[in-house]
Amino acid sequence: MKCNRAIPVLRIFDYDKAIEFYVDWLGFKIDWKHTFEENAPVYMQISLNGIELHLTQHHGDCSPGASVFVDCTGLKEFHKSIIDKKYKYNRPGLEKTFYGTWAVTVNDPFYNKIIFNQTLTEAEK
């Protein structure tokens, strides 16, 4: 077997809150979205610098409270950019982890967590 990618599916309850968090604050873009009919739950894909996430309002797709671990570079700059936006509901820190990374943990309005990680350089260890 060869796997090409994994796309986490995260449960959301409110479309506008999801857009405020993922698009307006974190900087994701909407790749596509789907509803079966007007006033039906939305299923959508968002992306940011190689990260793809599926967000769903459908209750049977998944449960809230997921954690997504993201390995990245440029984390300090990303952290500064989101802190500078002064998002009302989340002000994450930039922390050194016991497993040798810088980490920025954000919690969405639906109890899901994304942990952005960048490996420490030798000088930072």
**Residue 4, in any domain of the structure:** no
**Residue 124, in any domain of the structure:** no
**Residue 109, in any domain of the structure:** yes
Task: Kindly report the backbone phi and psi dihedral angles of residue 6, in degrees, each rounded to the nearest multiple of 5, phi listed first.
Answer: -125, 135
Residue of 114, 117, 16, 7 whose CA lies nearest to 65: 114
The domain of 60 spans 9-119
* Residue pLDDT, tens place only, 4-22: 999 999 999 999 999 999 9
Token pair recorded at residue 58: 């459908």
CA–CA dist 32, 55 (Å, integer): 11
**Residue 2, in any domain of the structure:** no
**Residue 62, in any domain of the structure:** yes
**Residue 3, in any domain of the structure:** no
Q: What is the DSSP letter of 100?
A: S
Q: pTM for the complete prediction?
A: 0.95
* Residue pLDDT, tens place only, 64-122: 999 999 999 999 999 999 999 999 999 999 999 999 999 999 999 999 999 999 999 98
CATH of the domain at 112: 3.10.180.10
